[in-house]
A = this chain, B = another copy of it.
Amino acid sequence: MEKIKVGVVGATGYAGSEICRLIYGHPAAELAAISSVSFEGMALSDVYPAYRQCIDLVCGTQEEVVAKSDVIFAALPHGLSQDLAAQCDSLGKAFIDMGADFRLESEEAYQEWYGGAFADKALHQKAVYGLPEFFREEIKDKKLIANPGCYTTAVPLALVPALKNGLIETDGIIADCKSGVTGAGRKPTQSNHYPELNESFTAYKVANHRHTPEIEQTLTKMTGEGVKVTFVPHLLPINRGILATCYARLKPGVTKDQLRQAYQAQYGGEFFLRLLPEGQVANVKNVRYTNFCDISLFTDQRTGTFIAISAIDNMVKGAAGQAIQNMNLSFGLPETTGLDLVPPAF
């Protein structure tokens, strides 16, 4: 069988470069073309010397990527994907957007949190939200896929079975999340300068982060009720990983066994979701470099609180890996193709 020709627009950013790395090990796809505004004409391995001899492809233009590829992954700043998506749509090419342009169904929410309008409303209708564990069947039929953000993958995966089965209250939910630094991208900033971040830990964008409406959209869709979440992200001095510690009030009489059964029922067949045995706690370290999401469940009977803790690699299940999972679905491949990876123990 001929391999899927993969193109990456914005290949030198962290998400783009991670897609390239994962495609390198994908048995049914190959990297056909990459582009970068900042590094046009340079090999990807000049930007990332780790890739020497493995991914020496030279960055070309966005046009070249579109021309040479069956599927285009776009790792662009928010707002820049809509034109490219329209172009791919007209050419009948698959388009997987790593940014936020097609994630929110509500244009009002998009305007409030991102500040722009939908360029082409009809195009937005063609998009599907690419969280395969919840929207698998729709993704199979689509060629325009909005790949979720990192927090917006970790939090809904932690909460949906409890919400969907009516085991927790839909108000008063707290998502206290902690992310590794790669989530902030490749561009050096004062706050991510090594001596400033090392041995530090703080919250940022407290109750004010753009992933809030996206999390709420997924929870609301899966629950059938309006769900609001207090979302506070923190920055960890590690490279990779998100830990989402989610709190909700237990509905009266709900037991921890009921909760575990609900998760087991919904997630038992999911390859990438590992429901941990009672007592074990999800750890970002155990999912690094892979598409796994580890989930652990707790209840605080003293206070009537449900605590679900999930862990993902923000660059894989939270970005590039999930995008490839979506590609696999869209192209009719087994969902795990190229993603059957074991996390390193250290």
Contact = CB atoms under 8 A, between A and B. Distances in A.
A142 interface: no
A245 interface: yes
A75 to B, nearest CB: 13
Contacts of A212: 302
Interface stretch (A80-88, A93-101, A152-160, A202-210): A202-210
B239 A195 contact: yes
Contacts of A346: 14, 182, 195-196, 239-240, 315
B302 A228 contact: yes
B204 A193 contact: no
Contacts of A48: 345
A309 B190 CA distance: 22
Contacts of A236: 201, 236-237
Interface of A: 14, 17-18, 21, 24-25, 48-55, 171-172, 174, 176, 178, 180-182, 186-190, 192-204, 206-207, 212, 228-230, 232, 234, 236-241, 243, 245, 247, 249, 271, 274, 276, 280-289, 292, 294, 298-300, 302-303, 305, 307, 309, 311, 315, 341-346
Given A25-B342, A50-B287, 6 more contacts: A50-B345, A176-B176, A193-B193, A201-B285, A203-B245, A237-B237
